[in-house]
Amino acid sequence: MSDDQTGIPAQRQDYPGQTGAMTPPPRDEMADYRGTSQLEGRVALVTGGDSGIGRAVSGADVAVAYLCEDADAEHTAELIEAAGRRAVLIRGDLGTEDACRTAVRRTVDSLGHLDLLVNNVAYQEPKGSLEEITTEQWEHTFRTNIDSYFWMAREALRHLPDGSAIINTSSVNGLRGNRNLIDYATTKGAVNAFTYSLAQTLVDRRIRVNAVAPGPVWTPLIPSTMPAEQVEGFGGQAPMGEAAHPDDIAPSYVFLASERQSRYYTGEVLAPVGGETMPG
């Protein structure tokens, strides 16, 4: 099987999915990336950071909050430690307020302080119509995709110093909607509004709040939440003709995390969407 993303075959996993079972394997280790020490001395808490985009953006000293994907989380910790950084793994369901509070507290207790919060955890379940979405699914999607962002940010603000940063993961679906992902797209639109509003609230503290809204990205979320036949050829609809790898998206997070590079950026939604253009 080629690593070309247009060659993604039909496949299915149980949620939340495992990187090692994906064909082709995603590029998410930033193996050819050469850092410039812009995050040296910083401590980051990344939710949903066990694989995919969360793994690729890991830098500095990192606490990784994840659901239950122990093997992926341990591999991520190995990558962080191989780069000479400290890693802390925090297992729990971030769709609960207590787990979010615990994740922040354990980060500060283990790594001493907190400078960067990356809200990246997400859930989706495609449905063909609004009538097919149960109240349980709607509430689960909101708890994971937007409630956790609120809980994490509120708790983190107790520790984030002036001049720190919060980065939220949105989606192209939050910019233009998606007929088969109504609840997911709605939460991602909420992430954008949350980002704009929080940026305004925190500007006096010089805490920059931005979002990244990727197009199709080949992560475990895809084969673990989509029917196998929809996974086949995933990303081929993008103008560039393929899905991104997490490594293609990770530099957006590094840019927004670095005050040297993005000091004048707050309340922005950076959209690496593979050539798709939208009105507005």
Rounded Cα distance between 155 and 221, Å, is: 26
Rounded Cα distance between 232 and 228, Å, is: 7
184 is catalytic: yes
Catalytic residue among 66, 149, 184, 253: 184
* Cα–Cα distance list, 166 to 38, 101, 158, 197 (Å): 16, 16, 13, 13
With b meaning 16 or more CB within 10 Å and e meaning fewer, what string describes 254-271?
A: bbbbbbeebeebbbbbbb
With b meaning 16 or more CB within 10 Å and e meaning fewer, what string describes 21-45?
A: ebeeebbbbbeeeeeeeebeebbbb
Show the tokens assigned to 112. Answer: 């001493």
224 DSSP 8-state letter: H
Cα dihedral: 147, 103, 166, 250 (round 10): -100
Answer positive or negative: Cα dihedral of 171, 174, 178, 180.
positive
Active-site positions read 184
